[in-house]
Amino acid sequence: RAKDSGGNVHYSYEPALHAHAEERRRLEFALRRALDSNEFSLVFQPVVDATSEAVTNFEALLRWNSPALGPVSPAKFIPLAEDTRLIVPIGEWVLHQACIAATHWPEHIRIAVNVSGEQLLDQSFAATVVSALSASGLAPQRLELEVTESVFLRDGNQARAALEQAMALGCKIALDDFGTGYSSLGYLRKLRFSTIKVDRSFVQGAATGNAESLAIIRAVVAMADSLEMSTTAEGAETEKEVEIIRQLGCRKIQGYYFGRPMAAHDAEALFRSRHYLSKQTAA
């Protein structure tokens, strides 16, 4: 910190640091306008039953196409939206749109929506869920909120209370990216998650014969089964990965192998396709 040291100290990395701060500033400037300018959209990725391959739910994934910056990856703008708390209004929009989309699907199909810690810590979270459900008319049982372990880090009790309010409405809760965070089994005891989502890194590891990945998935599946929670393997891209996941007993699979995130009208069309209907009968 040049300021703290008092003198005219010059650091060689300053230009790079400056460029980074400048990029972030531009991103934030654009992000602040994105919601009002209708630059967001949702895509939907199918999750299938591991045995029947029938679609059981879709995960809503946020997309941002900025006129100034082009398409920006969620990996880039979600952390910034969280830091600036813009995720609160953005997340409200996501919840509303996702619930509306799901009303066009068969009644047994759920919608999963990602929720950040900042949203859970906001006083209006429960009211936002109620409003998204009532505005769309979606049954609460069809809405599953996906949270990562990180939401419990800052104010675990408040985050848990917010999730319990959603559960009291009838919503389901999924634990996302399991195994990548500060996995604490304490959360599994305190909250009745419907689903544990096993992170893609374990799926990849298992398919390449990594003994640790195999052992961890096996243990997570056994634990979820005895806790009466479902398991979803994330990011299955190849037939080999799908085979391994099946052998390990994961109940559901999500990944490019079965379907990429798609526009709402393509998700709807899927339910009218003969392929879907035949898988459905097999379920």
Nearer to Mg ion, 9 or 153 (CB): 153
| 157 Cβ contact partners less than 8 Å away, ≥ 6 residues apart | none
Amino acid, res. 122: D
Q: Which of 82, 144, 146, 241 binds Mg ion (CB under 5 A)?
A: 146
Q: Which of 92, 118, 144, 177 binds Mg ion (CB under 5 A)?
A: 177
Which range binds Mg ion by CB under 5 A, 136-144, 176-184, 214-222, 224-232?
A: 176-184
CB contact at 8 A, 115 and 91: yes
Site for ligand C2E (CB under 6 A): how many residues? 23
If one counts every other C-beta atom within 10 angstroms of the C-beta of residue 228, the result is: 8
Distance CA 203, CA 199 (A): 7
* Distance of closest approach, residue 177 Cβ to Mg ion, in angstroms: 4
Nearer to Mg ion, 27 or 112 (CB): 112
Distance CA 125, CA 192 (A): 19
Nearer to ligand C2E, 165 or 238 (CB): 238
Q: Which of 97, 116, 213, 230 binds ligand C2E (CB under 6 A)?
A: 116
* Distance of closest approach, residue 273 Cβ to ligand C2E, in angstroms: 20
Q: Which of 27, 34, 54, 62 binds ligand C2E (CB under 6 A)?
A: 62
Beta pairing class for 195-198 and 230-233: parallel
If one counts every other C-beta atom within 10 angstroms of the C-beta of residue 27, the result is: 19
Find where tokens 């961890």 sit: 216
Beta pairing class for 55-66 and 252-254: unpaired
Question: What angle separates helix 14-34 from helix 74-83, to the nearest 10 degrees?
Answer: 80
Q: Three-state SS for 182?
A: coil
Nearer to ligand C2E, 113 or 224 (CB): 113
If binding is defined by CB under 6 A, does position 129 make contact with ligand C2E?
no
If binding is defined by CB under 6 A, does position 78 make contact with ligand C2E?
yes
If binding is defined by CB under 6 A, does position 109 make contact with ligand C2E?
no
If binding is defined by CB under 5 A, does position 231 make contact with Mg ion?
no
If binding is defined by CB under 5 A, does position 144 make contact with Mg ion?
no
Closest among 222, 243, 245, 249 to 234, alpha carbons compared: 245
If binding is defined by CB under 6 A, does position 195 make contact with ligand C2E?
no
If binding is defined by CB under 6 A, does position 11 make contact with ligand C2E?
no
Structure tokens of 167? 């559960």
If binding is defined by CB under 5 A, does position 176 make contact with Mg ion?
yes
Locate the DSSP E strands across 140-229: 143-148, 172-178, 195-198
* Distance of closest approach, residue 44 Cβ to Mg ion, in angstroms: 12
CB contact at 8 A, 66 and 91: no
* Distance of closest approach, residue 116 Cβ to ligand C2E, in angstroms: 4
Interacting residues toward ligand C2E by CB under 6 A: 45, 61-62, 73-75, 78, 87, 91, 94, 114-116, 146, 176-177, 235-237, 254-256, 261
Interacting residues toward Mg ion by CB under 5 A: 114, 146, 176-177, 199, 234
